[in-house]
């Protein structure tokens, strides 16, 4: 980690915002805006894995999509090797995308059912022109062995594979263009645990061998704990806490992070913590609470929390928290 | 009190018939549920746990599904021998069910109050007004604020967590003997899951029902269940008290499953995995269904299917390693 | 919702103007000079010219259109070229007949369509289902004038149960209404069936079964209400083809409705009558569409929000 920090960040996200306008429903009403991502900033160092965790509607997936400009961000900067993706032309962006690939939750939905694996990989390589046609065959065999699939599977169609195998194909396709950064958006969430373990091992192996950087988006905290170097917790479009994983899991500062961790069902009785049951539901991102957006469910909220939005601030050099009372609550 | 048997399932077989062949989704499942007890049925997708739960109330889609064999004894009455009309009086009354998807399991065009009240009118013969009162009470019981107002709302006005609470209110409205919960928290966020588990546990203490909790999540099972049945390829492969199963899993599959979970309190470079994939429900191997993936498999395992055998006390396992044959051959004290 | 209704109402204005323009222009393009037809064969050129002058037919087109719209705004649809009667009066006597015919037809469409669709869906792939769906396919495929003549031949000519033509008693209504409603009934039946089959596989129907509800309660209370949502749109669309159908059916059964009035007027180049008739028919169509849209939205609000 220390040597890694000497390098420049591979990806820097600065004050990223993604606001979606809703259709007007009432004649004299205000136009409603969902602030799905509202001022998110973070860096990813080369070779590290940063995870984003949070519950539905927290903006973790939207953050991933905005970085790739799959949804055009409303504001902010996304610097890849210092170059701002948000300001690029379509053509420049297409070239830049060879360095960032994304793997989705449902590999089946993101694979074209009418194309064989060979056709898919050839297409991926041809679009970015990273591999000369003469070497494509060799590269394909290499990719298949990377992800642990037999070479004869190249001629098969997606429906002939199981869920775990499809996710391997999704990974092979992402690797085809030699990316530097891979965004994994709930990539193992739909898999059974035994298959999930296989894919997680594969991702870790590939990271070691190919020097990859991961942005890992997931709601599953034990998976995140296993794969990450650093973890970022989001709530209602904002970062509430970001830290290296040991610091975060052993000593969470934000009351939301604490409640989240205490909610995970644990097998070993000795590790079970006293559960902090949060009141009510996650508020609608259409109408987020004033001040700290967590104050409606926070057991420690004060008047200050209702009025003032807390900044994300350093508690230790590797641990940032957005809570007015972070120090008092440990 | 715990010794009183409420539900006993014997050798249940539910098959699906299609042009591709016969899918043996549930293939000889047996278990017993005592009063006030919570039984967890765990397993990965396709192991038959959901079809087992649907079979209990004869809700398997038919065609193509059919319960071809077995007994489902509720207080010694075999549900499989009842007429449709007799069974109807059991459903939602003596045994009720909640499902995985709270978003789609409620009727979108009826108020949630009416959906609860109609069950009460049906089974308890209360008047419209009384049934509505009771529905509001049930909504209050599952911890939804302003129940009078919520009862008049339609499902789209409620969050996922609230809808699952409504499902629970509906299922418990007639104080059933058995509640079947089929992955009730899988679609929910973890903080909401914690709320729902808390409610189910509290209401079980208040109302004293027995619960069958179907899930793939071992953590949830560990927290809520008294005993566990692990399913693999349509069969129960291990059954026993929760603590004992997690402390010392007997079946290699149970062990593999527990080991492949990432640990929250321990750094691991690599996760242990289970080699290979689940066999097709259309074409199970002749021997042990786990043999192909099992690191300990011998010729015996590949050739002959083991029975679910009692090892110690209430602990049962479907594995040759715990048989006399194996002990004689390998001179190995497995237990 | 209010915003939506206001928006849809505002849309009616340009649509109506468009309709008047199209109607006006098409009648100008149709070959045949109304002045010559009115004056009769062998009338002198002077007579024809005088007639044309009186009718204002020699003014520039845009002036004629302007006058036409202006008159419309004052509730004046002009006079029939043939019998000099105000067009509005003519329409006022004819329209109720067509509305009556349309009402019974749509009743047949809805009632027959729903019953057949529901029965089919309750026992899918059974003999009843198969035979209903074959009949429905026939209903969609047969042209209404052919069906009308066939019904007339069987029930009026051969069996002599019902009158051949006219519009005097309840008996007269039966055959035209069936002829006009049959196609729609077939479409509604097919739509209801597929919609019901979709709904009965939904999770909430499984919930209803798990509660121990009786079979008919599940169908009537839980399934049908949801299944009807797409059917409403289909019924709405049927109104459109129904209006077109009245033209044919009224001609076949010699019913003096709006449709027949338009056909006769076209034949005699009675431009004001055609314009008035088509305009009224179009307006009815626009209003019905608006009503269907609003109804669909009311029913569907909850599903949109999901």
**CATH for C276:** 1.10.3720.10
Domain for residue C82, yes or no?
no
Asked if the Cβ–Cβ distance from B156 to C225 is below 8 Å, we say no
Domain match, C136 and C243 both? yes
Instruction: Out of B59, B90, B119, name the one closest to residue C206 (CB).
Output: B59
Residue B237 located in a structural domain: no
**Contact partners of B by the rule of 3+ C-beta pairs under 8 A?**
A, C
Are residues B194 and B257 both part of a single domain?
A: no
What is the span of the domain harbouring residue B286?
248-330
Residue C78 domain-assigned?
no
Domain finish residue from C19, C44, C73: C73
CA angle C220, C221, C225 (to 5 degrees): 85
pLDDT single digits (tens) B18-72: 888 899 999 999 999 999 999 999 998 889 999 999 999 999 988 789 999 999 9
Predicted confidence at residue A6, as pLDDT, reads 55
Among B206, B232, B258, residue at a domain's last position: B232
- Per-residue pLDDT at A45 exceeds 90: yes
User: Which residues in chain C are closer than 8 Å to A26, comparing Cβ atoms?
Assistant: 2-3
B160 and B34 fall within a common domain: yes
Determine if residue C44 is left, alpha or beta; phi over 0 gives left, psi from -120 to 50 gives alpha, anything else beta. beta
B14 and B83 belong to one structural domain? yes
Q: What pLDDT is attached to residue C305?
A: 40
Query: Which residues of C fall within a CB distance of 8 Å from B90?
Result: 212
Apex B54 CA angle, B228 and C204, nearest 5: 125
pLDDT(A2) > 50: no
**Which residues make beta-bridge pairs with A50?**
A215, A230
Q: Answer whether residue C79 is part of any domain.
A: no
Residue C210 shares a structural domain with residue C148? yes
Q: What is the mean pLDDT of residues C183-200?
A: 91
B163 closest CA partner among A25, C306, C139, A67: C306
Whether residue B131 is found in the same domain as residue B14: yes
For a pLDDT cut of 70, what percent of chain A falls above it? 94
Based on the fold, state whether residues C11 and C91 are members of the same structural domain: no
The pLDDT of residue C204 = 93
At residue C149, the 3 state secondary structure works out as helix
Hunting for tokens 């109720």 — which residue is that? C96
C contact residues 182-211, partner B, Cβ 8 Å cutoff:
201-204, 206-211
Does residue C196 share a domain with residue C66?
Answer: no
- Separation of alpha carbons B211 and B205, rounded Å: 11
The CATH number that applies at residue B134 is 3.40.50.300
Does residue B96 lie in a domain region?
Answer: yes
- Note the pLDDT of residue B269: 85
What distance lies between CA B53 and its chain's CA centroid? 6
pLDDT band at A163 (very low <50, low <70, confident <90, very high): confident
Residue C181 lies in a domain: yes
Residues C109 and C199 placed together within one structural domain of the fold = yes
The verdict on B159 and B219 lying in the same domain is yes
DSSP A309: P
pLDDT in tens, C17-37: 888 888 888 777 766 677 777
Q: Are residues C46 and C116 in the same domain?
A: no
Q: Which residue of B has its CA nearest to C211?
A: B92
State whether B191 and B265 are in the same domain: no
What average pLDDT does this structure show over B183-204? 90
By the 10 Å C-beta count (0-12 exposed, 13-18 middle, 19+ buried), C229 is classed as: middle
Same domain, C128 and C9: no
For the question of whether the overall pTM of this predicted structure is more than 0.90, the answer is no
Q: At CB < 8 Å, which residues of chain C contact A? A: 1-3, 6
Residues C41 and C144 placed together within one structural domain of the fold: no
Answer whether residue C200 shows pLDDT above 80. Answer: yes
Burial of A129: CB neighbours in 10 Å, binned 0-12, 13-18, 19+? exposed
**Mean pLDDT score, A20-25:** 72
Which residue in A99, A104, A105 sits closest to A85, CA to CA? A99
In the numeric block, which tokens belong to residue A209?
């061998």
Q: What is the pLDDT of residues B73-118, one digit of tens each?
A: 999 999 999 999 999 999 999 999 999 888 899 998 899 999 999 9
**Is there a contact between C207 and B107 (Cβ–Cβ < 8 Å)?**
yes
How confident is the model at residue C2, as a pLDDT? 75
pLDDT of C45-88, one tens digit each?
888 888 777 777 777 888 888 887 888 888 887 788 778 888 88
Facing residue for B273 by CB, picked from A201, A225, A281: A201
The verdict on C131 and C54 lying in the same domain is no
Q: Over the stretch A188-199, which tens digit does the pLDDT of each residue have? A: 888 888 889 989
CATH, domain A2-99+213-322, list 3.90.1570.10, 3.30.70.890, 1.20.1050.10, 3.40.50.300: 3.40.50.300
- Write the pLDDT tens digit of every residue in B156-187: 888 888 999 999 999 999 999 999 999 998 88
Q: What is the mean pLDDT of chain B?
A: 90
In chain A, which residues have their Cβ closer than 8 Å to the Cβ of B266? none
- Across the interface, whether the CB atoms of B118 and C213 are under 8 A apart is answered yes
Distance of CA C75 to the CA centre of its chain: 24
The three-class DSSP label of residue B13 is strand
Question: What is the C-alpha to C-alpha distance for residues C110 and B253, in angstroms, rounded to an integer?
Answer: 58
Q: Which of B203, B232, B261 is the last residue of a domain?
A: B232
Any idea which residue has 């590290």 for tokens?
Answer: A48
- Give me the number of domains chain B comprises: 2
Flag whether B238 is in a domain.
Answer: no
| Residues C221 and C244 placed together within one structural domain of the fold | yes
Distance CA B305, CA B290 (A): 10
Q: Are residues C20 and C62 in the same domain?
A: yes
Tens-place pLDDT, residues B269-295: 888 888 888 888 888 999 999 999 999
Do the domain assignments include residue B243?
no
Residue C159 belongs to a domain: yes
CA–CA distance, B145 with A42 (Å, rounded to integer)? 38
Residues B273 and B176 in one domain: no
Which tens digit of pLDDT belongs to each residue from A175-220? 988 899 999 999 888 888 888 998 999 999 999 999 999 999 999 9
Q: What pLDDT is attached to residue C246? A: 85
pLDDT beyond 70 at A29:
no
B217 contacts B9 by C-beta, under 8 angstroms: no
Q: Which domain holds residue C17?
A: 2-73
pLDDT for A4 beyond 60: no
Residue A215, class by beta-carbon neighbours within 10 Å (0-12 exposed, 13-18 middle, 19+ buried)? Answer: buried
The model's pLDDT over A135-158, given as tens digits with 9 standing for 90+, comes to 888 999 999 988 888 888 999 998
* Confidence band for A3, pLDDT divided at 50, 70 and 90: very low
Nearest CA in chain B to C199: B107
Mean pLDDT of B130-140: 94
Partner residue facing C302 (CB), from B59, B123, B154: B154
Task: With both helix axes pointing from N to C terminus, report the angle between C224-252 and C170-200 in degrees, rounded to the nearest 10.
Answer: 150
Which of A193, A245, A279 to mutate against chain B (most B CBs within 10 Å)?
A193
CB crowding B26-57: b at 16 or more within 10 Å, else e: bbbbbbbbbbbbbbbbbbbebbbbbbbbbbbb
For residue A63, give both structure tokens.
């953050």
Report the distance separating Cα B236 and Cα B52, nearest Å. 11
Residue-wise pLDDT tens digits, C225-265:
889 888 888 887 787 778 778 888 888 888 888 888 988 88
State how far the alpha carbon of A320 is from the alpha carbons of A252, A325, C55, in Å.
Answer: 10, 13, 87
Using DSSP's 3-state secondary structure scheme, residue A98 falls into coil
Total number of domains constituting chain C: 2
Every domain of chain A and the residues it spans: 2-99+213-322
DSSP state of A151: G
- Residues B178 and B39 both lie in one domain: yes
**For residue A55, how many C-alpha atoms fall within 13 Å in the half-sphere facing its CB?**
25
Q: Which of C207, C210, C212 sits opposite B106 (nearest CB)?
A: C207
Tell me, yes or no, whether C124 and C220 share the same domain.
yes
């Amino acid at each position: 980690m220390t040597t890694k920090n000497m390098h420049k960040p591979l990806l820097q996200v600065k004050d990223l915002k993604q606001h979606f306008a809703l259709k007007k429903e009432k004649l004299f009403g205000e136009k409603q805006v969902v602030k799905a991502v509202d001022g998110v900033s973070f860096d990813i160092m080369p070779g590290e894995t940063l995870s984003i965790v949070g519950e539905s509607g927290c903006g973790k997936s939207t953050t991933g999509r905005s970085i790739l400009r799959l949804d055009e961000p409303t504001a902010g900067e996304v610097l890849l090797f210092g170059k701002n993706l948000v300001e690029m032309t379509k053509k420049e962006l297409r070239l830049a995308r060879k360095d960032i690939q994304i793997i989705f939750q449902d590999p089946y939905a993101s694979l074209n059912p009418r194309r064989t694996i060979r056709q898919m990989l050839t297409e991926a390589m041809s679009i970015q022109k990273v591999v000369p046609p003469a070497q494509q065959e060799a590269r394909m065999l290499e990719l298949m062995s990377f992800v642990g699939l037999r070479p004869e599977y190249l001629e098969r169609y997606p429906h002939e594979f199981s869920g775990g195998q499809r996710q391997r194909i999704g990974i092979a396709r992402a690797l085809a263009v030699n990316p530097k950064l891979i965004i994994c958006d709930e990539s193992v969430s739909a898999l059974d645990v035994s298959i999930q373990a296989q894919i997680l091992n594969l991702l870790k192996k590939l990271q070691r061998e190919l020097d990859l950087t991961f942005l890992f988006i997931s709601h599953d905290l034990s998976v995140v704990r296993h794969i990450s170097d650093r973890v970022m917790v989001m709530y209602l479009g904002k970062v509430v806490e970001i830290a290296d994983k040991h610091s975060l899991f052993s000593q969470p500062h934000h009351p939301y992070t604490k409640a989240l961790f205490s909610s995970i069902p644990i097998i070993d009785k000795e590790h079970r913590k006293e559960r902090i049951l949060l009141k009510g539901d996650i508020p609608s991102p259409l109408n987020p609470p004033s001040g700290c957006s967590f104050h409606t469910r926070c057991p420690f909220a004060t008047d200050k929390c209702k009025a003032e939005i807390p900044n994300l601030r350093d508690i230790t050099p590797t641990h940032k928290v957005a809570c007015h009372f972070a120090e008092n609550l440990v | 009190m715990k010794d009183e048997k409420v539900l006993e399932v014997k050798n249940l077989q539910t098959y699906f018939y299609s042009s591709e062949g016969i899918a043996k989704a549930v293939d000889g499942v047996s278990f017993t549920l005592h009063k006030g007890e919570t039984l967890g049925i765990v397993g990965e997708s396709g192991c038959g746990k959901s079809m087992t739960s649907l079979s209990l109330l004869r809700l398997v889609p038919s065609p193509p599904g059919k319960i071809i064999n077995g007994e489902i004894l509720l207080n010694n009455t075999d549900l499989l021998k009842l007429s449709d009309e007799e069974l109807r009086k059991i459903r939602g009354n003596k045994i009720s069910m909640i499902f995985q998807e709270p978003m789609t399991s409620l009727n979108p065009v009826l108020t949630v109050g009416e959906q609860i009240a109609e069950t009460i009118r049906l089974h308890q013969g209360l008047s419209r007004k009384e049934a509505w009162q009771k529905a509001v009470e049930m909504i209050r019981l599952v911890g939804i604020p302003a129940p009078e107002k919520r009862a008049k709302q339609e499902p789209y006005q409620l969050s996922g967590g609230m809808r699952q609470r409504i499902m629970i209110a509906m299922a418990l409205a007639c104080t059933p003997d058995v509640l079947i919960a089929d992955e009730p928290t899988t679609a929910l966020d973890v903080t909401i899951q914690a709320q729902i588990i808390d409610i189910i546990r509290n209401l079980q203490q208040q109302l004293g029902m027995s619960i069958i909790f179907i899930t793939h999540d071992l953590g949830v099972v560990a927290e809520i269940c008294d005993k566990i049945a692990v399913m693999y390829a349509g069969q129960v492969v291990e059954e026993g008290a929760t603590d004992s199963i997690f402390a010392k899993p007997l079946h290699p599959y149970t062990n593999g499953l527990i080991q492949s979970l990432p640990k929250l309190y321990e750094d691991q470079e690599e996760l242990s995995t289970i080699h290979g994939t689940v066999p097709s429900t259309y074409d199970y191997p002749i021997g042990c269904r786990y043999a192909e993936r099992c690191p300990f498999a011998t010729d015996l395992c590949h050739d002959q299917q083991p029975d679910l055998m009692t090892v110690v006390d209430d602990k049962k396992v479907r594995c040759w390693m715990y048989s006399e044959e194996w002990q004689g051959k390998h001179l190995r004290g497995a237990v | 919702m209010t915003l939506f209704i206001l928006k849809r109402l505002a849309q009616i204005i340009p649509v109506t103007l468009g309709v008047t323009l199209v109607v006006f222009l098409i009648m100008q393009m149709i070959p045949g000079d109304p002045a010559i037809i009115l004056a009769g064969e062998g009338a002198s050129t002077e007579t024809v010219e005088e007639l044309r002058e009186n009718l204002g037919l020699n003014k520039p087109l845009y002036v004629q259109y302007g006058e036409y719209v202006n008159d419309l705004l004052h509730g004046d649809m002009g006079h029939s070229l043939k019998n000099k009667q105000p067009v509005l009066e003519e329409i006022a006597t004819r329209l109720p007949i067509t509305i009556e015919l349309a009402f019974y037809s749509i009743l047949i469409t809805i009632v027959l369509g729903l019953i057949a669709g529901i029965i089919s869906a309750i026992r899918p792939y059974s003999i009843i289902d198969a035979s209903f769906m074959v009949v429905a396919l026939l209903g969609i495929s047969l042209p209404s004038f052919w069906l009308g003549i066939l019904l007339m031949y069987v029930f009026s000519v051969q069996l002599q149960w019902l009158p051949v033509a006219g519009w005097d008693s309840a008996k007269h209504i039966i055959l035209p209404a069936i002829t006009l409603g049959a196609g729609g009934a077939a479409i509604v039946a097919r739509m209801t069936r597929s919609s019901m089959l979709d709904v009965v596989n939904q999770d909430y129907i499984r919930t209803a079964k798990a509660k121990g509800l009786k079979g008919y309660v599940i169908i009537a209370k839980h399934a049908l209400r949801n299944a009807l949502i797409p059917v409403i749109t289909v019924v709405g669309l049927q109104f459109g083809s129904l209006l077109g159908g009245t033209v044919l059916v009224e001609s076949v059964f010699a019913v003096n409705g709006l449709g027949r009035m338009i056909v006769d007027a076209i034949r005699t180049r009675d431009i004001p009558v055609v314009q008035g008739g088509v305009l009224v028919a179009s307006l009815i169509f626009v209003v019905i569409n608006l009503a269907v849209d609003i109804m669909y939205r009311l029913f569907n609000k909850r599903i949109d929000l999901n």
